[in-house]
Amino acid sequence: MPEFNNTTQDMASGMAAFEAKEFAQAWRLLRPFAESGDAQAQHRVAIMCQNGLGMAPNPLMAYKWMRAAAEQGYAMAEHGLGFMYLYGECTEKNEKEAAKWFQRAAEHGLVGSAMTLGMMYEQGLGVEKSEVEAKRWYERAEPKA
């Protein structure tokens, strides 16, 4: 791993490169942070691997990095991992596992995860069908007045 004189600046530069869609630069700057365990960097690296941004798509690496970030409680990665399991992207389709990760992300405040979980309860995807649970998760997704 390269030595960084100012790691905070390098992380910020990597995030800025990602947002600016300069993915080769983002990969170069963020990968060392992902390897050292930074969940935010792991999430961004996973997105690049999953979608072939600045590289050829690499589903195995995408799953590895998304899972690593999700296991640290990074809500956006929990949500992303939920979708990987829900649709069988980068891993085997597993609706029960998807529901688990969407619930974690929803409990961390992600509205989209709460909505998705509501839909899963409404349709009985990976969870026992329950209008009561569906309503509960839909209500959690509503903006607070």
pLDDT digits (tens, 9 = 90+) for 84-105: 999 999 999 999 999 999 999 9
Q: What is the pLDDT of residues 33-63, one digit of tens each?
A: 999 999 999 999 999 999 999 999 999 999 9
The answer to whether 89 and 61 are in contact (CB under 8 A) is no
- Can you read off the two tokens belonging to residue 122? 């409404």
* Joined tokens for residue 32: 């060392």
Verdict on whether the full-model pTM lies above 0.85 = yes
**CA proximity to 126, closest of 90, 91, 101, 89:** 101
Q: Tell me if residue 63 falls in helix, strand or coil.
A: helix
Residue 8's pLDDT is: 77
pLDDT digits (tens, 9 = 90+) for 121-144: 999 999 999 999 999 999 999 876
